[in-house]
Structure 1
Amino acid sequence: MKRNILLVSLVVLIALLIVGGYKIFNGKKEPLNPSRPITITVWHYYNGNTKDKFDALINKFNETIGVERGIVVEAKSHGDVNQLANVVYDAANKTIGSQVMPDIFAAYPDNAYRTNKLCGLVELEQYFSQDELKEFRKEFLEEGRFGADQKLRILPIAKSTEILYLNKTYWDKFSEETGASLDDLNNWEGIVRTSEKYKNYSGRAFLSIDGNANYMLSASMQLGTEFYTYSGDRAKLNFSKDIAHKIWENYYIPYLKGYFIKSGRFSSDDAKTGTVLAYTGSTAGAAYFPKQVAFSEKEVYPIDIITLPYPHYENGKPYAIQQGAGMCITKSDKAHEYASALFLKWFTEPEQNIDFAVSTSYFPVKNESLVKNKILPLVDKTEVSNEAIKKSINTTLDMLDTHILYGNRPFDGSYDMRALLENNLFNFVQKDLEKLEARVATGEERSKVIESLISEENFNRWYQQFSQEVEKIMSK
């Protein structure tokens, strides 16, 4: 009996020595060696405070887990998400003058999908167990699956959505004098009515919309129809004339009538100059909400903020777009793939993930991290660059219970379709605004010109033109 116990103990000891000293990995010797550290490159699009926080966490990893396991993580920002997408695509395509593909890069599904066709992305099920994947919020994880096999190729690390930002200081005065209510700002029809009231009250536009593609996609879902139908890697437009007309009424017409405007690169720029009172924008951009309004160099006034959930249509469902690029691992060798996965596992653990979230206005990705009593105490203790960050986090946590977060599947042509949705209707608006001013300058009455531009004939012209542009992309 004693001999059997001794034998079992010896086997266990040997196993522990093997696992502890050599680290078994998928039935093989672990590919990492602390005495010969490897370098993992990460490309992202973070800037400002978000980049600083990401860099600080990478330093923490390098000084702890990195030293223990033989990993050095080096990160580089490539400006904004579109610049990053282009740099990654050029690298994957081996364009002349392009850089070598990184081990890890941030990507939205559309860019990850087209990159995967060029160089191959790691199927993350190889490095994450089913139990580990179940820890993530389901819709965040599902966004990272694509292709005929629906394998997971994008790991969520920090998410955001869109909300309504409002200049509280000037809203309070406007509301007191006109009876305008915050309740009217939870739906698009109410926002249009409020915008008209504000235009009559101040002579200024009320709203700016930061994400045009997000507006189109979420509006379609809110009105009961997904923008596309899917068949494998292909998709077809599913954008009825009725839904298009609803968007026309609550997007194009308010812009033509001066209720909405977007003159800066970002909507927060228009809020900063007092050009608008409110805007829809990413929660990840909360730090950019202005702390003061500058009507001119001499007219500068401090303001407070209200954050509200993303609006939906009166008779529609409360959909909002989920944002925040996930991380992809480029296919390479086992050591670099494994080290990349190890870093991402560490980054998405609650301690690091919540720390990153509360400092940057993103929100964490695991179910156990998305709990108010875990996040809010840290939010209260954390020094942030802008109080808008804390308020946006509170609003976002509420939206996780009240809204459905949506992300469309990538498909052949989806990257180009995203660009079309972002620019097509907005550019149509801008051209018609130019026509409006030109015709008024020749003596035509503004109200009559507006009526001609918002006509059914002009709507049909846009809808036909948009459909033709879609066909060019989808038929490639």
Structure 2
Amino acid sequence: MLVLLLLCLVTAFSSGCGSKASLDPAKPVTLTIWHVYGNQTNSPFNDTIEKFNASEGKAKGVIVKVASVSSSNVIDKALFASAKQDPGAVPLPDLFTAYPRVIPAMHDKLLHWDKYLDKEDLAVYQPEFLAEGYQDKELLMLPVAKSTELLFVNQTYFDRFAAATGASTEDFADYDKLFELCRKYYTWTGGKNMCQLDDFYNYYLTSMASLGDPLIKDGKPDLASPNFKRIFRAAAEPAIAGGLGIEKGYAADAWKTADLISNVGSTAAILYMRDYVTNPDNTRETIVTNYYPCPVFSGGKVTLLQRGVGLLAIKSTDERKNLGAVVFAKWLAQENSNLNFAMQAGYLPTNKEALPKLLNNPQDVHNFNYRKLYTCMQQVYKKGTWLHLPHKAAKIQQNLEYGSKNILRAAHQQYLQEIAGGANPQQTLDKLVEESYQKLLNYKQ
């Protein structure tokens, strides 16, 4: 009898002796989630969660409850505050979406998906997307849906510029030519920027990789590389002289008023793109938005930056919550579930069967703008190489992103002042580009 009791104690967590945790549809477990898709009242992910709750969740005894819909930065701050139990911080959610940058700070609190999902479960994912979730051989993040970067163009306004100047959309394929267009547009409009890079860090990362030269080497950014100098100078010239926007935030606000007519940014921005612009007199003008592959530098290869948050779970002492998180994750990864959510949100599915099904058949997408978006992505998908953000590089990203924008913004103002004072434009630009590069080498956020 004593031997039997000891065996039960030893195996309690695996075979259970009647105590193994399990899900019960009659007594469902509720999981809270914070996510980034849309907003509280208009979210394709909320719709997807409702479908789960009414189907697989109901059958297995799992209810997912949306507690917050916000930006990734807001979620990051809330996570860190909750994890540290800061005064006024809200309790941690059971599930959340975030970028891998949160993993080092949250590591000890995270559920290890690979302890619950077998090879067959993981085989449904696009391998490149799944790989991003591993850190130190531990699977801490699962891919949900991905975006990449494209060039968005207000075609209505660009066509007017092209008709007056001879500018061509063919120049969108090459960064050097795109930046030349930016300066021409600045002159033609009397001081309006044509384009914006939503993320300088992503621009550096993909452009360097495209040229076969990694941005980060041995844990440090290789800013001394001739390729980096080339890439930096190409963007710095129109940023300083005018034509490339370097305002705070994303291009969405300036896009609404046609203060920008193009931007390189995440395909997920389609959720917020409007089909009209608002004029200074508050009248509206309908516009056509077109999508083009992200430019590359001459000699570079098409590189697809995989953007988008992943799904993470807080490891719970209530094993039913851990099991419930796995049920939700597995359902979300199924081909139909994943494809339907991705198409509704304008994202790329992460299921390896759903991804080619969508990009090989964009004509089947009902939403007109999404259909154009996926048709453009089809072009690059077939010849591009996927690239994910480097792990444990959050500080490098922050310094290069904020440093580039802050330094170039100040240099632009200095350029305008010196030119107004009679300085030689080209000499002044060359000087400020070099000074900006030197400042970036030592920038600390």
TM-score (norm 2): 0.88
Measure how far apart 1:27 and its partner are: 5.5
Q: Which residue in 2 is equivalent to 1:350?
A: 335
Alpha-carbon RMSD across the aligned residues, in angstroms, is 2.5
1:55 aligns with 2:71: no
What secondary structure is seen at the aligned counterpart in 2 of 1:370?
helix
- Quick check: 2:408–2:436 contact (8 Å CA) kept in 1? no
1:223 aligns with 2:203: no
- Quick check: 2:36–2:69 contact (8 Å CA) kept in 1? yes
1:444 aligns with 2:421: yes
Measure how far apart 1:264 and its partner are: 6.3
Measure how far apart 1:66 and its partner are: 1.9
1:246 aligns with 2:233: no
Q: Tell me how far apart the structure 2 counterparts of residues 178 and 27 of structure 1 sit (CA, whole Å).
A: 75
What secondary structure is seen at the aligned counterpart in 1 of 2:223?
coil
With over 3 angstroms needed to count, the CA separation of the structure-2 counterparts of 1:290 and 1:137, relative to structure 1, is same
Q: Which residue in 2 is equivalent to 1:468?
A: 442
After TM superposition, list the pairs within 5 Å mapping 1:19-34 onto structure 2: 29=20, 31-34=22-25
Measure how far apart 1:191 and its partner are: 0.4
Question: Which blocks of at least 5 consecutive residues in structure 2 are unaligned?
Answer: 1-12
Q: Which residue in 1 is equivalent to 2:362?
A: 376
1:129 aligns with 2:118: yes
With over 3 angstroms needed to count, the CA separation of the structure-2 counterparts of 1:262 and 1:425, relative to structure 1, is closer
Structure 2 residue corresponding to 1:430, chosen from 396, 409, 412: 409
- Quick check: 2:152–2:262 contact (8 Å CA) kept in 1? yes
Q: Which moved more, 1:160-169 or 1:86-95?
A: 86-95
Q: Which residue in 2 is equivalent to 1:113?
A: 104
CA deviation vs aligned residue, 1:200-249 (integer Å, no higher than 9, x gap): 4333322111122211211221232112124xxxx223332423321232
Q: Which residue in 2 is equivalent to 1:366?
A: 351
Q: Tell me how far apart the structure 1 counterparts of residues 189 and 97 of structure 2 sit (CA, whole Å).
A: 42
Q: Tell me how far apart the structure 1 counterparts of residues 345 and 151 of structure 2 sit (CA, whole Å).
A: 18
With over 3 angstroms needed to count, the CA separation of the structure-2 counterparts of 1:33 and 1:298, relative to structure 1, is closer
The count of corresponding residues between Structure 1 and Structure 2 is 427
**What letter is aligned with 1:408?**
L
Q: Tell me how far apart the structure 2 counterparts of residues 328 and 174 of structure 1 sit (CA, whole Å).
A: 46
- Quick check: 1:50–1:360 contact (8 Å CA) kept in 2? no
**What letter is aligned with 1:135?**
V
1:104 aligns with 2:88: no
CA deviation vs aligned residue, 1:21-46 (integer Å, no higher than 9, x gap): xxxx9756552122222111111122
Q: Tell me how far apart the structure 1 counterparts of residues 51 and 69 of structure 2 sit (CA, whole Å).
A: 22
Q: Which residue in 1 is equivalent to 2:10?
A: none
Structure 2 residue corresponding to 1:295, chosen from 263, 279, 289: 279
Q: Tell me how far apart the structure 2 counterparts of residues 34 and 225 of structure 1 sit (CA, whole Å).
A: 53
Q: Tell me how far apart the structure 2 counterparts of residues 45 and 162 of structure 1 sit (CA, whole Å).
A: 18
Q: Which residue in 2 is equivalent to 1:21?
A: none
With over 3 angstroms needed to count, the CA separation of the structure-2 counterparts of 1:177 and 1:305, relative to structure 1, is same
Q: Tell me how far apart the structure 2 counterparts of residues 81 and 319 of structure 1 sit (CA, whole Å).
A: 24
What secondary structure is seen at the aligned counterpart in 2 of 1:128?
coil
CA deviation vs aligned residue, 1:71-117 (integer Å, no higher than 9, x gap): 1111123521111111112222222322222221111111123221x
Measure how far apart 1:372 and its partner are: 4.1
- Quick check: 2:255–2:277 contact (8 Å CA) kept in 1? yes
Structure 2 residue corresponding to 1:328, chosen from 312, 315, 319: 312
1:202 aligns with 2:224: no
Q: Tell me how far apart the structure 1 counterparts of residues 321 and 233 of structure 2 sit (CA, whole Å).
A: 52
Q: Tell me how far apart the structure 2 counterparts of residues 266 and 280 of structure 1 sit (CA, whole Å).
A: 10
With over 3 angstroms needed to count, the CA separation of the structure-2 counterparts of 1:41 and 1:167, relative to structure 1, is same
Measure how far apart 1:190 and its partner are: 1.5
What secondary structure is seen at the aligned counterpart in 2 of 1:122?
coil
**What letter is aligned with 1:468?**
N
With over 3 angstroms needed to count, the CA separation of the structure-2 counterparts of 1:201 and 1:460, relative to structure 1, is closer
1:454 aligns with 2:430: yes
- Quick check: 1:361–1:390 contact (8 Å CA) kept in 2? no
1:39 aligns with 2:30: yes
What secondary structure is seen at the aligned counterpart in 2 of 1:367?
coil
Identity of aligned residues (%): 25
Q: Which residue in 2 is equivalent to 1:214?
A: 202
- Quick check: 2:242–2:412 contact (8 Å CA) kept in 1? no
Q: Which residue in 2 is equivalent to 1:186?
A: 173
Q: Tell me how far apart the structure 2 counterparts of residues 128 and 298 of structure 1 sit (CA, whole Å).
A: 54
What secondary structure is seen at the aligned counterpart in 2 of 1:371?
helix
- Quick check: 1:207–1:278 contact (8 Å CA) kept in 2? yes
Q: Which residue in 2 is equivalent to 1:22?
A: none
Q: Which residue in 1 is equivalent to 2:135?
A: 146
Question: Which blocks of at least 5 consecutive residues in structure 1 are unaligned?
Answer: 1-24
CA deviation vs aligned residue, 1:38-75 (integer Å, no higher than 9, x gap): 11111112224995221122122112222222211111
Measure how far apart 1:309 and its partner are: 0.9
- Quick check: 1:113–1:410 contact (8 Å CA) kept in 2? no
CA deviation vs aligned residue, 1:366-396 (integer Å, no higher than 9, x gap): 111012467635512xxx5xx4333222222
